[in-house]
Amino acid sequence: MVRSEFISLLETLMRVAGRKMAKKRRKGRGGEDMMGREMGERAEDGDGRRLDERGRSCHGRDRPSPPRLLDGTVPSPKPTRPSLGPFAPELLRKRYLRRDLSGEVAETAEEMFSRVARTVARAEGRFGGDATAMASRFRDVMTGGLFLPNSPTLMNAGLALGQLSACFVLPVEDSMDGIFGALKEMAKIHQSGGGTGFSFSRLRPKGDPVRATGGIASGPVSFMEVFDAATEVIKQGGRRRGANMAVLRADHPDIIEFVRAKERQGRLQNFNLSVGATGDLMARARSGKEFELRNPRTGLVAETVDASNLLREMAANAWRRGDPGVLFLDRINDAHPIPGTIEATNPCGEQPLLPYESCNLGSLNLSRFAGGGEVDWDGLEEMARLAVRFLDDVLEVNRFPLRRIREATLRSRKIGLGVMGFAEMLIELGISYASKEAVEMAEEAMGFIASSARDESRSLGEERGSFPLLEESNLGYDAMRNATVTTVAPTGSISLIAGTSPGIEPLFGLSYSRDLLGDEMVAMNPLFERMAKDRGLGDGLIRHVAARGTLAGAEGVPDDLKELFVTAMEVAPAQHVKIQAAFQRFTDNGVSKTVNLPNEATVEDVLNIFALAHDLGCKGITVYRYGSRDQLLHLGEGRGTEAEIDPGGLGCRICD
């Protein structure tokens, strides 16, 4: 809804929500955002139905028979009505729902989930399973907000393109053919809805001789601008903006130019930047030693710099603009289970991949497995196992954009099961995000999910066959279907669909507005509404939160409620890192997380965060300081309030 409608709706909700919300567990509630092309023009013509604000067909029972999809099946006429978040209907209408040849929406949210479930479940038939029964299970968990796959799966399953993966890494070799070949491959992936990661570390440094022409090289950053410009052009015709990650090793001679690449506002806006750091750099920075920069073409030392000054330069630019982040490449490769060297990740940093690998991600909604102070561990295990089966089925039915990607992906069969709704799970359990107990719950929950997911992959390996590189891996299993099974993604878009908090982030605000594809939307956290009503705190507090977005300055609020509903900027930076590290300990791949810093934070604070992340075993780290760039979300009722803030932790700023 637009902001002008919010207050009147809020008053209605206040009158009716109390008793209903107290008796019922909340309904599901938003991830990744890379761009795709307009898929509707390649889908079969439908009936052009539009949706009302609740996601229902405006034509009601008089709608014509639904068209057949590419698999020849007809959408289920009465699937379970989805449990959607307040932003979901508009987001689905603009970006996810199938369109007919005239560009009109041709399916409801229910039919979208049925389309996806039916397409993915076709894989079950290849192994002697009941595809129809499994499609029903897949549909029910998605419509119930218990689990959602990455956005390309929701957008493309059952349609002409059929590309279902979110994450890709492409190599960039030090030649014109290599550079522009990667650019062409990037364009194909972006058209299909995927995001791309690149390491530019193999490119010769700026000023290096080019023997073929007798000229000199322009360096990695100049070619990054070419990739950025191409992404900008491609996204103009797509449903989502292009998403890229650029990685440069800390020992590349052009590292300072790379670190400063976003000093000018608007430059490389389709890229996240990450420095590929190592334990050696961190150790030398602490001891004040020098650090060698090496020409990747020759392997020779090009320059020696003070390691602590280099790390401080990284921290200063992260403080100023939010980029670069840091990837601890040696730690990533030490934990990687199969042969090969990882040089880059997907756009948001949570999925390290070998060249030409892709990965399918999906997330469990933890908020739906907690209530009354308890966790439904049996339900969580069942859902983790089903989600692993779903993601492995996606690999079977996926249409990969390039032959080399298909080959590399199916050698390892990597999947990434993660979570969303962690903050709301804690609230249901009566645990403050800012507490030691929150860290303990992070470890317990992710450890439990990882164990269940790995065991299910082992069972699938026995049933269907192991991934081809198992014998060359360090996993130590006789059977295993997937080389990796867990990844914690930002879930910016899919958590909006499910109506829960993104990934493992704290609540951005108790009430906030969001620019959703050109429309300003406003929402209030239903958990807060419910608990405020249960405590009898009255309409005045609701109005305060609607205006400001937090409990700051509110009178008469019990201390335990203030602790329970702490928001992102109120959580200590070290606690952000501890939560990330707790999840990382039980995650095969990486963990997407942003450390939020107040505006008055210093460069020294950022340096401390980098050091703490390395010490606690994180594979990477990203920081955001309040006010350091233009904001997309705002606390309270919208733009222009005192509480404006950029949501450093609300999903990935490139992917969403």
Comparison of pLDDT for 70 and 467, the residue scoring more: 467
Comparison of pLDDT for 653 and 548, the residue scoring more: 548
pTM of the full structure: 0.85
Q: Which of 156, 346, 482, 596 is catalytic?
A: 346
Cβ neighbours, 10 Å, residue 463:
13
pLDDT at 598: 85
Quick check: 163 and 394 in contact, CB under 8 A? Answer: no
Q: Is residue 337 part of a domain?
A: yes
* Secondary structure string (H, E, C) spanning 68-105: CCCCCCCCCCCCCCCCCCCCHHHHHHHHHCCECCCCCE
Q: Is residue 190 part of a domain?
A: yes
Phi, psi of 345 (to 5 degrees): -130, 180
What confidence category does residue 652 fall into, taking pLDDT thresholds of 50, 70 and 90? Answer: low
Quick check: 179 and 388 in contact, CB under 8 A? Answer: no
pLDDT at 117: 98
pLDDT at 381: 98
For residues 105-118, average pLDDT? 96
Q: Catalytic annotation on 346? A: yes
Coil, strand or helix: which one is 587?
Answer: coil
For residues 417-438, average pLDDT? 97
pLDDT at 111: 97
With pLDDT > 70 as the criterion, what percentage of the chain qualifies? 81
452-463: pLDDT as tens digits:
999 999 999 999
pLDDT at 541: 82
With pLDDT > 90 as the criterion, what percentage of the chain qualifies? 67
β-bridge mates for residue 522, sequence order: 513
Does the pLDDT at position 21 exceed 60?
no
For residues 34-61, average pLDDT? 33
Comparison of pLDDT for 650 and 88, the residue scoring more: 88
199-240: pLDDT as tens digits:
999 999 999 998 877 789 999 999 999 999 999 888 644 566
pLDDT at 521: 62
The Cα 556–Cα 554 span in angstroms is 7
Question: How many structural domains is the chain composed of?
Answer: 1
What confidence category does residue 52 fall into, taking pLDDT thresholds of 50, 70 and 90? Answer: very low
pLDDT at 518: 59
Mean model confidence pLDDT for the chain: 84
pLDDT at 531: 87
For residues 20-34, average pLDDT? 35
Q: Is residue 71 part of a domain?
A: no
C-alpha radius of gyration, the chain, whole number:
24
What confidence category does residue 637 fall into, taking pLDDT thresholds of 50, 70 and 90? Answer: low
Q: Is residue 200 part of a domain?
A: yes
Q: Which of 167, 348, 618, 652 is catalytic?
A: 348
Does the pLDDT at position 604 exceed 70?
yes
The Cα 131–Cα 122 span in angstroms is 5
- Which residue from 350, 503, 377 is spatially nearest to 448, judged by alpha carbons? 377
Q: Is residue 194 part of a domain?
A: yes
584-593: pLDDT as tens digits:
999 999 999 9
DSSP letter at 145 equals: T
The CA–CA distances, whole Å, from 116 to 76, 158, 165 equal 12, 7, 13
**Which structural domain, as residue segments, surrounds residue 228?**
169-205+216-232+242-345
The Cα 58–Cα 376 span in angstroms is 37
Strand 344-345, strand 325-328: pairing: unpaired
pLDDT at 40: 33
Q: Is residue 140 part of a domain?
A: no
Q: Which of 313, 350, 357, 637 is catalytic?
A: 350
pLDDT at 240: 64
Q: Is residue 127 part of a domain?
A: no
pLDDT at 83: 75
CA 549 to chain CA mean position, Å: 24
Q: Is residue 647 part of a domain?
A: no
The number of helix segments (H) and strand segments (E) in the chain equals 21, 22
390-416: pLDDT as tens digits:
999 999 999 999 999 999 999 999 999
267-319: pLDDT as tens digits:
999 999 999 999 999 999 999 999 999 999 999 999 999 999 999 999 999 99
The Cα 509–Cα 646 span in angstroms is 11
Coil, strand or helix: which one is 275?
Answer: strand
